[in-house]
Amino acid sequence: MIRIGLTGGIGSGKSTVAAMLAGQGAVVIDADQIARDIVEPGEPALARLVAEFGPRILTEEGALDRQELAALAFSSPEGTQRLNAIMHPLIREEAARRLAAVPGDRVVVYDMPLLVEIGQRDLVDVIVVVDVPEEVQVERAVHQRGLQEQDVRRRMQAQASRQERLSMADVVVDNSGSLASTRDQVEAAWRRLVREAP
């Protein structure tokens, strides 16, 4: 099994590259989906979040009110650290479980935005970084995802810098050009990592 860690900053187009890798035959494990799954009602993470941030983060139906949690957790660095202390170990544990469940003859892609930031390098064999200039990140996140520019820039400040991500990369996919250019790079990376692997 080859385990590919896929990462990139907000607005970099990481999801597009993940879909292209899935099209090549990879099994994609999405850390953002894991984060959503582990806070479903009845899951231990939800109880821990309520214990930490209070019952106001729950809807009337007992589900997580994501906006309320975000307002509390991201209002200060301390709040963000409290959230991360609960979520990151649980995401890592579930990701490791899902990675281990993939059949040994498959290529698995661990799609993890914070792969560099929270030290999950040991879960994967190679790191693929989806890279675009920072101003392109801002423009895409604002125009394609409808986020506020100041919110995008605040999130970027909380993530690893572009240079930090690139320094960890085994493969870089430059996603600042056309979709065809990105696809060509993804296919070349697939050939290099999978078809030519020993």
Cα(115)–Cα(92) distance, rounded to whole angstroms? 10
pLDDT of 119: 74
**147, pLDDT greater than 90:** no
**197, pLDDT greater than 70:** no
Decide the pairing of beta strands 107-111 and 2-7. Answer: parallel
Cα(159)–Cα(147) distance, rounded to whole angstroms? 16
Give bridge partners of residue 109 from the DSSP assignment.
4, 28
pLDDT in tens, 97-110: 999 999 988 999 99
Residues 6+ positions from 125 with CB-CB distance below 8 Å: 2, 3, 4
pLDDT in tens, 17-67: 999 999 999 999 999 999 999 999 999 899 999 999 999 999 999 999 988
pTM value? 0.86
Please state, as a whole number, how many other Cβ atoms lie within 10 Å of the Cβ of residue 119. Answer: 11
* Contact yes or no for 148/28 (Cβ under 8 A): no
DSSP state of 169: -
Please report, for residues 8, 18, 47, the alpha-carbon distance to residue 178 in angstroms, rounded to integers and kept in the order given: 17, 16, 44
Cα(52)–Cα(47) distance, rounded to whole angstroms? 9
Residues 6+ positions from 63 with CB-CB distance below 8 Å: 40, 41
The phi and psi torsions of 105 (rounded to 5 degrees) equal -95, 5
